Amino acid sequence: MNINQQQLKKFKNLINKFQNGTEFPVLNNWEEKSNNELWLWLVGQVMVVGGVGGNERFIQRKDLQKRISYSSLKQYTDDLELQSIINDVLREAGVRYASSDLKKCKKSKALVHNYKFISHYNGGFKGLIGFLNRIEGINAELERVSYLTHHLMFVKNKSARDFLMSIGINRNTLALDIRIQNIFKYFDIEFPTQTQLSSKAIYDATEKEIIKKICDPLNIEPIIFDRILFQNYKSITKSNLL
């Protein structure tokens, strides 16, 4: 990735213009969240694959949220029964790819897998986050990302980072989505496609390049840079900075 001085100056101007109006995650704010809040985030991650409509409807339905809340699902010990309850909620919310055939419904299978994995931790989801928070070392943040993408279904490179950043654990990663891709293109900077970013190697390399060639020279934390681009996308693409 080649970043010239003119492009770097544009990013600096962008940061100066939008930083004060951007909200940033509070360090370790996960400690104030409940298991259910954390679980419903994960449910949303699975729902939005293929389209956001189902998740938007789910968010408006407190009854559906209650039916698959973290505590409500504890009463089901049989995997098939657990999947059936989850599948019913996905279908009532109109979630895309939620097949009426349980054997074919990958989303409800994924949520059963994820729920069982998380519930094995002492303290549930908060126990899992506590474990991740205790990982230390120079590569701790990427190790946390790898742990989530390896053990949780439908959680990928971008979503794992976005989650860890939003709950106040990771600060030196980037959630590279279509918005950031478009901003870089507007700045005439070559950027991988979303398909290419599905590769861990390409994603990690792209993230590293952005941090090295933009964040470090401008002395800005990656999480600050990330949130500025994400939250101000529409304003940035309409501004005269491009």
Q: Give the pLDDT confidence of 102-129 residue by residue, as tens digits.
A: 999 999 999 999 999 999 999 999 999 9
Q: Global pTM?
A: 0.92
d(CA 176, CA 160): 11
Mean pLDDT of 173-194: 92
**Domain boundaries 29-166, corresponding CATH code:** 1.10.340.30
Q: What's the one-letter identity of residue 56?
A: E
Burial 183-211 (b: 16+ CB within 10 A, else e): bbeebebebbeeeebeeeebbbebbeebb
Q: pLDDT band for position 238 (50/70/90)? A: confident
Looking at every residue in the chain, the average pLDDT score rounds to 94
Q: pLDDT band for position 237 (50/70/90)? A: confident
d(CA 223, CA 165): 7
Rg (CA), the chain: 19
Q: Scanning the structure block, which residue is given the tokens 């990013």?
A: 11
H helices of the chain, where?
A: 5-18, 35-47, 53-59, 62-67, 79-92, 106-119, 125-133, 140-151, 157-166, 178-186, 194-197, 200-210, 222-231, 233-238
> How many residues are given for the chain?
242
pLDDT by residue (tens digit) across 33-71? 999 999 999 999 899 988 889 999 999 999 999 999 999
Note the pLDDT of residue 51: 86
Q: pLDDT band for position 240 (50/70/90)? A: low
3-state secondary structure of 105: coil
d(CA 119, CA 159): 20
d(CA 68, CA 88): 10
Sign of CA dihedral 119, 41, 209, 195: positive
